[in-house]
A and B are shown apart, each in its own frame.
Chain A
Amino acid sequence: EAGVVQSPRYKIIEKKQPVAFWCNPISGHNTLYWYLQNLGQGPELLIRYENEEAVDDSQLPKDRFSAERLKGVDSTLKIQPAELGDSAVYLCASSFGGSIDTQYFGPGTRLTVL
């Protein structure tokens, strides 16, 4: 079974530029999560999707961050414009919701903003 796929793995941009991250969850997983992991910290939830609906986006900085999950499968997280403080690893995870289950994480996208 293929795991959670994320691309790109690494991204270097200059501040004020836009950037987008892509996530393909495990087949059949209806719940998708985006986490932000700063250096030396644990992952922090940005947004959670149940199918195509964003059911928890309270931690997403909506002035510059946006996300979508078209057709309830793949998801894209966008930052526009990026700031220096956005340098971090962006993790995508998926799970089969509706019961207690574990989340399966992708390898993450490491963003460096110069």
Chain B
Amino acid sequence: DQQVKQNSPSLSVQEGRISILNCDYTNSMFDYFLWYKKYPAEGPTFLISISSIKDKNEDGRFTVFLNKSAKHLSLHIVPSQPGDSAVYFCAASVTNSGYALNFGKGTSLLVTP
């Protein structure tokens, strides 16, 4: 049973434009959310996170928005760069369970020049 869902397997965006990656979750116990970025033949790399007490967290070009009532979060990348081309995984955790991460299937982002 997939508790974290990324319904778009792929996304293509032009350089300089905004990339929006979406993620939905079903478990209302999740209270910490993360985005990881993965290049081929490498492990996932932490990108940005958000606690359930917030609805927005920003780090440079990356902003994560959390809508708890809709059980939805999104990652905005502005402006998108070719180096952002990678697979992005959404992950969720229950913080009093040892932070074991539940991952979505990932969205492959391609930023074209």
Ranked 10 nearest A-B pairs via Cβ = A42-B103, A105-B43, A102-B46, A105-B44, A45-B100, A107-B43, A43-B103, A106-B43, A42-B89, A42-B105
Q: Is the CB of B99 within 8 A of A97?
A: yes
Total interface residues on A, CB under 8 Å, equals 26
Instruction: Say yes or no: is B62 at the interface (Cβ < 8 Å to chain A).
Output: no
Instruction: Say yes or no: is A100 at the interface (Cβ < 8 Å to chain B).
Output: yes
Complex formed: what's the CA distance from A40 to B89 in Å? 11
Q: Is the CB of B46 within 8 A of A50?
A: no
Do A4 and B100 contact each other (CB < 8 Å), given the known contacts A100-B95, A102-B49? no
Please encode chain B, from 30 to 55, with 1 for each CB lying within 8 Å of some chain A CB and 0 for all others. Answer: 00101010000111111001010000
Do A103 and B99 contact each other (CB < 8 Å), given the known contacts A4-B43, A40-B105, A91-B43? yes
Complex formed: what's the CA distance from A77 to B103 in Å? 21
Q: How far is the CB of B40 from chain A (nearest CB, A)?
A: 11
CB-CB under 8 A from B100, the residues of chain A are 33, 45, 48, 56
Total interface residues on B, CB under 8 Å, equals 25
Residue of B nearest to A108 (CB): B43
Q: How far is the CB of B73 from chain A (nearest CB, A)?
A: 15
A-B contacts, 12 of them at CB < 8 A, read A42-B105, A44-B103, A48-B100, A50-B98, A100-B32, A100-B99, A102-B46, A103-B101, A105-B43, A107-B43, A108-B42, A108-B43
Number of A-B contacts (CB under 8 A): 58
Instruction: Say yes or no: is A1 at the interface (Cβ < 8 Å to chain B).
Output: no
CB-CB under 8 A from A33, the residues of chain B are 100
Instruction: Say yes or no: is A65 at the interface (Cβ < 8 Å to chain B).
Output: no
Residue of A nearest to B34 (CB): A102
Residue of B nearest to A102 (CB): B46
* Residues 40-78 of A at the B interface (beta carbon under 8 Å): 40-45, 48, 50, 55-56
Instruction: Say yes or no: is A95 at the interface (Cβ < 8 Å to chain B).
Output: yes
Complex formed: what's the CA distance from A40 to B108 in Å? 10
